[in-house]
Amino acid sequence: MDIFEAIKTTRAMRRLDPDKPVSDADVLTIVEAATKAPSGGNRQAVRWLVVRDADKRRQLGDIYAACWDIYSSQPGPLTSSAPPESDAQARVRSSAAYLGAHMGEAPVIILPCSRKGIGESSVFPGVQNLCLAARALGLGTTLTTIHRLREPEVRAVLDVPEDVETWAMIPVGHPLGRWGEARRRPVAEVTYWDAWKQPPPP
């Protein structure tokens, strides 16, 4: 797949087929892609915790659902207490709520982890590589972090030491939705040239 097509069409896939398995080979392929991302000082400090065990996925799903309940009860862009929303925002909220109820059904859940003190700049480039590689294989992913509201419980399920951060929880599976470009503002609206609010060349 062309890299620019992968970038343009890698979108949050929160509805995944729980009955269609993901091969170990594909999991290792996308994790290998994640390891190719840059990291501070080339320390390669991120560890990729792959969860395939059905009971552990169920437990993570229960924790994630509880975190979603907390998150979705607060006023914000994805909650029902926010100002009136557009159709696009309503679709995102519905999709996020679906994941809140079904995270534990994803065939694979991957958590990027590192010792405390390792910055996000060494973690999230790898996450993006993982998501792009998954897209190239026809696998859906989405980046979520709300499990951190109850991170000690996540650590307990997976025997993660207390001095290790679990930066994200990434479900992986065959998407039930369609690939396509997510709507984004035109680049001219979000790009400044040489000074704040100076527009780019036409």
Q: Report pLDDT for 78.
A: 55
Q: Report pLDDT for 77.
A: 57
Q: Report pLDDT for 118.
A: 84
Q: Report pLDDT for 177.
A: 86
Q: Report pLDDT for 95.
A: 86
pLDDT tens track, the chain, 202 positions: 899 999 999 999 999 999 999 999 999 999 999 999 998 888 899 999 999 999 999 999 999 999 999 998 887 655 555 455 567 677 788 888 999 999 999 999 999 999 998 888 989 999 999 999 999 999 999 999 999 999 999 999 999 999 999 999 999 999 998 888 888 899 999 999 999 999 999 8
Q: What is the pTM of this model?
A: 0.90
Q: Report pLDDT for 85.
A: 54
Q: Report pLDDT for 65.
A: 97
Domains along the chain with CATH numbers: 3-190 (3.40.109.10)
Per-residue HEC secondary structure of the chain comes to: CCHHHHHHHCCCCCCECCCCCCCHHHHHHHHHHHHCCCCHHHCCCCEEEEECCHHHHHHHHHHHHHHHHHHHCCCCCCCCCCCCCCHHHHHHHHHHHHHHHHHHHCCEEEEEEEECCCCHHHCHHHHHHHHHHHHHCCCEECCECHHHHHHHHHHHHHCCCCCEEECCEEEEECECCCCCCCCCCCHHHHCCCCCCCCCCCC
